[in-house]
Structure 1
Amino acid sequence: MNLSIIAALSYGILAIVGGIIGYIQANSKVSLLSGSISGLLLIIAAYCQFQGQGWALILAAFITAVLVVVFAFRLAKTRKFMPAGLMTILGMLALAVMVNQFVMKK
């Protein structure tokens, strides 16, 4: 198991947990739905990477990049570190690992 699989799996779990927390704290169905969908897609991408599917790394990196952009805009709008700042930083770290793995495969 390489680091890009761990990064996709971890960020996916974090997205799901964040969506659940957003639903519990703010009764936000959008947070629950978007966190669940993006988290499940990242977990599926991690599983497919583990199975040797090359496209799964690209899918995981794309989903992570979209989430980083969304959370960065939310951070700029709200100026609150939690949860947008944390998810932005952790997403950038996960994305850096994924991009590094992609470059190393080439």
Structure 2
Amino acid sequence: MTPDRVLWVYIVLLVVGGLVGWLKAGSKVSLIVSVLFAAALSACAMGWITVPLGPDLLLIVLLLLFGWRLLQSKKFMPSGLMLALTVVALALRHWRW
């Protein structure tokens, strides 16, 4: 699996997570933030945004956000799951295939 493919899978999971948050808990913020980060990650993946560490920097921001949310809620779902997925996405993006 290529780093770009890993990123696209993560983008889909991020949006699905935002949709689930909106549908189950009525969280508009979850949906909006997930779509905004997904759009920024998509722009990086397509080469529209070219900054050093572009997608990785956004993934690190999400890592911090999900970690902070997990510490606040002390519940694994949903922030712990998204934290784990973000760690896996970052690791797989830098795995030497």
**TM-score, length-scaled by structure 1:** 0.77
- Residue equivalent to 1:8: 7
- Residue equivalent to 1:77: 72
Paired-residue identity, %: 31
Q: Which segments of 5 or more consecutive residues in structure 2 lack a partner in the other structure?
A: none
Alignment partner of 1:55: what SS?
coil
Which one scores higher on RCO, CA 8 angstroms, separation ≥ 6? 2
Is this contact kept in 1: 2:59–2:86, CA < 8 A? yes
Counterparts in 2 of 1:67 and 1:54: CA distance versus 1, 3 Å: closer
Counterparts in 2 of 1:12 and 1:56: CA distance versus 1, 3 Å: farther
More helix by share: 1
Deviation at 1:55, TM superposition (A): 3.2
Q: Which amino acid aligns with 1:29?
A: K
Q: Which amino acid aligns with 2:42?
A: I
Check if 1:60 corresponds to 2:42.
no
| Segments ≥4 residues shifted beyond 3 Å | 53-57
**TM-score, length-scaled by structure 2:** 0.83
- Residue equivalent to 1:21: 20
Aligned length: 96
Is this contact kept in 2: 1:16–1:40, CA < 8 A? no
RMSD: 2.3
